[in-house]
Structure 1
Amino acid sequence: MFPIHRPRRLRASTQLRRMVQENTLTASDLIYPLFAVPGNAVAKEVTSMPGVYQLSVDKIVEEAKEVYDLGIPAIILFGIPEDKDIDATGAWHDCGIVQKAATAVKQAVPDLVVIADTCLCEYTSHGHCGYLEVGDLTGKVLNDPTLELLKKTAVSQANAGVDIIAPSGMMDGFVTAIREGLDEAGFTDIPILSYAAKYSSAYYGPFRDAAESSPQFGDRRTYQMDPGNGKEALKEVALDIAEGADMLMVKPALSYMDIIWRVKEMTNLPVAAYNVSGEYSMVKAAALKGWIDEKKVALETLTSFKRAGADLILTYHAKDAVRWLNE
């Protein structure tokens, strides 16, 4: 009781505060998302995500070198193909845009960890994450046939040199299917970072501009999770662990820190949080208006994900965050 206990004693100086800080953000915590497109010398800024670009493979390599030099250990690649079809051919083709980008990055920066987003929505003509019933305009994806596409995509990405497979489509059994496919192809050492708790969120809007992946009809609520559900996330996580996931992801992060905490409490696997496009764009927009201090808000937010239990953070702030931390 006061006056014996005075918590302010440990806040009296910068050095003392550093000594007792419980959670510290470092470059090693961060993963930087990149969007690969066909062409050469392409760097097209995403209007709704200031500072984020669609990049051709040569520009992806330049970014990868910069990311590595900053001490960020990993990137995650998303692809926007030249053509889309109902079979998501661009996702699993050996000459797909992610495959080309992954091979080029691993040749240029072999020690940088390359993660591939293993999903189909960027590659299907209808914008959904798998096969649909012919004529179905509800967006209800056929689960089991889609697993075969995901398996093919993961193996193709591994053949291209990807270090980590990150399935994000929220199909039932996708970890099992991908693990089987990788093992059968001889990639037993490639880990799976499962988007284990991915919510059907309004925070994804700017990403869909960047990845050109908005559904042409319906929505994704038949496979992504209801934002009101917490226990369901733990069920999804438990299933993915049982299926052989090596790492787990919660997406989005900012409005789901309770889920990050609960997932971390239930498992000893590494937990990643995806600081998604809408969260990023809100900070950028408010900062451009002069309403907030971008540096302070971004670093506070990223540190809060660590406090909630995240071991890794996927964020578009990654490069700026490292520069700020190094100041």
Structure 2
Amino acid sequence: MQPDISVKNLNKVYEGGFQALKNINLEIKRGEIFALLGPNGAGKTTMISIICGLANMSSGEVKAGGHDIVKDYRKARELIGLVPQELNTDAFETVWKAVSFSRGLFGKAPNPGHIEKVLRALSLWDKRNNRIMTLSGGMKRRLMIAKALSHEPQILFLDEPTAGVDVELRRDMWEMVRKLRENGVTIILTTHYIEEAEEMADRIGVIRQGEIILVEDKAQLMSKLGKKELRLQLQNRLEQIPGQLMLEPVELSEDGHELIYTFDSQQEQAGVARLLRTLGDLGIDYRDLRTRESSLEEIFVGLVHE
């Protein structure tokens, strides 16, 4: 099956010589949730703008649903829905008319049933006759998603979709995105909320200074680059780490009551077993133990600051 988004050797150079994107190569599969992560200025929005036809590339090739976005731009763009960061609609328009107008922009015949379905799914049905200026910030964010879904796109870009919205609304949006994926829509998400990517994404891409530095299945990424931590609460205080443990990745807490052992998935079984066996041989007893895994946020921070 061909990818829904195919990016080959994509470059973007602005006047003055600043290169925002450097030889980007990326494929996004049909029906997956792909999270694109990167610090401010890394090139996320520039890349999305090019794919969606809002900015021109300097060189390269981009296809959406198999259609070249330059040579066959009409077919490519009608497959794409975009939820931008900023609200860009007439504040005096009603919710219903704004969403219906967005559908018409793509040459789609009126479909009140579909518009109603979208508005109900986003808890906007009761606000359908309200002017946009009267909506709360969260409702305006929902409206942007409704506009993007109005023409039934196969590919949906969400550029910081939950920025500035409350936790409840964020979780409602997560649920809506999952349902879209279940219906075969491909989702590309950029976010500063790393927990959002950790919660929803199938694959993660990391962009840094205009270059894709990593694309990985989320579970594999967290297994490969994540760390685990075993904390042993000791029965008796230790003054220092015993010599037999000096070669292990072990730290002693400041108060001397905890040993902290850090390891990766390859070290997991053998390393933990060896540590516990050594503690037993030394007569060091512990009364509690707990483990903690690296979050995606910790992995991301480590990648972009290398």
Q: TM-score, normalised by structure 1?
A: 0.29
Would you tell me which structure has more strand in proportion to its own residues?
2
TM-score for both structures, normalised by structure 2: 0.30
Please say which structure displays the higher CA radius of gyration.
2
Task: Tell me which protein shows more helix as a share of its residues.
Answer: 1
